[in-house]
């Protein structure tokens, strides 16, 4: 079973989509707080997440609690063997599809607005992986998009795909969290022999 970790997720729809993917693939979802939304029974029912009761998920107060309660994750972060921890970030040198995945691996994604912490990535650079994407120039209208976005929605920091934008990075093209998670989950499942792939 794959372990999918969302660290401080902010957008409930992304978590819902990832949760649905975990249900249909048999992956376990780990949600690391603080969460940007409510997971009470009432909130889940109101959101129409009928599959939520079928989801194998755990919640944690913070990153330290996740690591403390999961020995294989802690060992994987110490890199005593072949990597079983995959830190998904736009800052990774290795491409996710160049990694080798095993049953029980940890696929770790950061929050929508800023990703995984620089400290975590800096402590484990060999575990960092990225999904290759085209640059803003591929849009052909990135400058116009930036200008119209600023005029129409000065209060929002979202990109063309609905993702939060890190204005300091100057990059607007990116995958949303649920798309990124699905891409990596299905590559891991393909490599581990998931039925039907």
Please, where in the chain does CATH 3.40.1280.10 lie? 3-133+175-191
The predicted structure's pLDDT at residue 21: 95
Residue 76's Cβ-count burial label (10 Å; 0-12, 13-18, 19+) is buried
Mean pLDDT over each residue of the chain, to the nearest integer: 83
3.40.1280.10, 3.10.250.10, 2.40.50.140, 3.20.20.70: CATH of 3-133+175-191: 3.40.1280.10
Count CB neighbours of 13 within 10 A.
13
The pTM of the full predicted model, rounded to 2 decimals, is: 0.82
Reported as a single tens digit per residue, the pLDDT across 129-173 is 998 876 655 555 556 656 665 665 555 555 444 444 545 444 444
Quote the pLDDT of residue 158.
53
């Amino acid at each position: 079973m794959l372990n999918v970790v969302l660290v401080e997720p902010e957008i409930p729809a992304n978590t819902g989509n990832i949760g649905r993917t975990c249900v249909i693939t048999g992956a376990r979802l780990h949600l690391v707080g603080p969460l940007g939304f409510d997971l009470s029974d009432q909130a889940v029912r109101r959101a129409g997440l009928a599959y939520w009761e079928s989801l194998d998920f755990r919640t944690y107060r913070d990153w330290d609690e996740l690591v403390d309660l999961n020995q294989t994750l802690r060992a994987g972060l110490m890199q005593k063997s072949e990597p079983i921890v995959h830190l998904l970030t736009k800052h990774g040198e290795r491409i996710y599809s160049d990694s080798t995945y095993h049953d029980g691996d940890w696929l770790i994604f950061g929050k929508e607005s800023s990703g995984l912490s620089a400290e975590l990535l800096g402590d484990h650079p060999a575990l960092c992986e990225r999904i290759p994407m085209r640059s803003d120039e591929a849009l052909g209208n990135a400058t116009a998009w930036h200008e119209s976005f600023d005029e129409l929605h000065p209060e929002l920091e979202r990109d063309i795909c609905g993702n939060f934008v890190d204005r300091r990075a100057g990059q607007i093209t990116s995958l949303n969290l649920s798309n990124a998670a699905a891409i990596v989950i299905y590559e891991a499942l393909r490599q581990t022999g998931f039925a039907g792939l």
